[in-house]
Amino acid sequence: MALIVDKHRPRSLETLTYHTELSERLGSLAQSGDFPHLLVYGPSGAGKKTRIVATLKELYGPGVEKIKIDARVFQTSSNRKLEFNIVASNYHLEITPSDVGNYDRVVVQDLLKEVAQTQQVDQSAKQRFKVVVINEADHLTRDAQAALRRTMEKYSPNLRLILLANSTANIIAPIRSRTLLVRVAAPSHEEICEVLAVSAKKENWPMVKGLHMRIAQESDRNLRRALLMYEAVHAQNEKVTDSTPIPPPDWEALISQIAREIIEEHTPARILQVRAKLYDLLTHCIPPTTILKTLTFKLIPFIDDALKAEVIKWSAFYEHRIRMGTKYLSEVVVYYYYYYYYYYYYYYYYYYYYYYYYYYYYYYCCCRMVDKKRCNITFRILEKV
């Protein structure tokens, strides 16, 4: 049985319920005959993928919905074989090169070169070029993005690229300058409520507007998450009212538990427990940046106002390190332990020791009847430490 997030997904630009101006622009681009490379960016659950699939249908017709999954094997320079899945139709391909980590450059170079050097097989196709949709383009390495830039320049007559990303911050400037930037904003609470009402009507569920608004607020304007929460509510409750509790996702409940454990106890044993739970989240494919962001906001209500800015600062610092690195280690728990343990203990002991040493040395100099000039020099040196 299909989930409502897939069952009720719009299949054409005309059936999209929000961002109508953006849908009209995409339709105009598809009909213009000069379709450019696109960089579509926006938050998760905003509808980027749905709009791109609808645009491809406008470009080529219903044939783009007849897709298949091909398993390809790529070989690196060190003779390592990479297994990679490709979602393809006769008119387009959909890939996620970031799945192979640092070897994404190999996939980008070999696959795009092969596609670009092949002419369109279907002679009745509306367009003479193929489209390659690249998911998670902002997770590509710099080498892969450089290879992508060269491919865009060399094979543009037979190939169009559509890059999907959450942000353009990690996309290199040459790619941004060679693509048309399309921003898909997150839907508002009212727009999410409209989508939930349409799904309720199709599923013959009772129309509970209060519940719709609560789901829209708790979904953080993520339409995919709102639909999944809506279906979970109806799956767990026979009768749904305005006050029906909304079950949180399992991973979010686990992060809330981690936050409470971090606050309750600061011991090495607790660090190992929290570390194991963070690794459990990573092995279940929860993005590390999502874990860090959620954990930070779960911790903030439990700490003093004076520390909130510091916690957010260091959370942003470690999020940047996670994005720049390649191994998603759960060392962030060590940071929280460091902050709560060392800030409250080591920090004050350090300054207590500093001032103790400061006056003890001054007293020692006086006892040894050291001249005042030398003592003042020592005093100034200590002030610079």
Residue 353 has pLDDT above 80, yes or no: no
The 3-state secondary structure of 165-196 reads ECCCCCCCHHHHHCCEEEECCCCCHHHHHHHH
Residue 238 has pLDDT above 90, yes or no: no
pLDDT-based confidence at residue 329 (cuts at 50, 70, 90): low
The DSSP bridge partners found for residue 277 are none
Residue 367 has pLDDT above 60, yes or no: no
Which carries the bigger pLDDT value, residue 100 or residue 132? 132
Residue 315: the pLDDT is: 83
Residue 250 has pLDDT above 50, yes or no: yes
Segment 153-172 mean pLDDT: 85
Segment 239-264 mean pLDDT: 87
Residue 376: the pLDDT is: 45
How high does pLDDT run on average in the chain?
Answer: 79
Residue 172 has pLDDT above 80, yes or no: yes
Using DSSP's 3-state secondary structure scheme, residue 98 falls into: helix
Segment 243-250 mean pLDDT: 85
Same fold, 4-183 and 251-385: no
CATH topology of domain 251-385: Zinc Finger, Delta Prime; domain 3 (1.20.272)
| CA 93 from centre of chain | 22
Look at the alpha carbons of 186, 201, 249, 259 in this order and tell me if their dihedral is positive or negative. Answer: positive
Please name which of 223, 232, 212 lies closest in space to residue 9, comparing C-alpha atoms.
Answer: 223
Residue 1 has pLDDT above 80, yes or no: no
Segment 314-324 mean pLDDT: 78
- Cα–Cα dist 236/267, whole Å: 38
Residue 326: the pLDDT is: 57
- Domain positions in the chain are 4-183, 189-236, 251-385
Choice among 44-58, 88-102, 337-351 with the minimum mean pLDDT: 337-351
Residue 327: the pLDDT is: 59
Which carries the bigger pLDDT value, residue 324 or residue 194? 194
* CA distances in angstroms from 374 to 294, 355, 378, 385, listed in the order given: 55, 19, 6, 17
Q: CB 106: neighbour CB atoms within 10 A?
A: 21
Please name which of 154, 104, 113, 106 lies closest in space to residue 132, comparing C-alpha atoms.
Answer: 113
Residue 357 has pLDDT above 50, yes or no: no
| pLDDT one-digit tens code per residue, 113-131 | 887 777 666 555 667 788 8
* CA distances in angstroms from 175 to 179, 184, 320, 324, listed in the order given: 6, 18, 21, 19
Look up the CATH number of domain 4-183: 3.40.50.300
Q: CB 31: neighbour CB atoms within 10 A?
A: 11
pTM for this one?
0.75
Residue 54 has pLDDT above 50, yes or no: yes
Amino acid at 305: D
Q: 316 CB contacts (<8 Å, ≥6 apart)?
A: none
Residue 365: the pLDDT is: 45
Q: 277 CB contacts (<8 Å, ≥6 apart)?
A: 254, 257, 258
Amino acid at 171: I
| pLDDT one-digit tens code per residue, 174-233 | 999 989 999 999 999 999 999 999 998 988 888 888 899 999 998 888 999 999 999 888
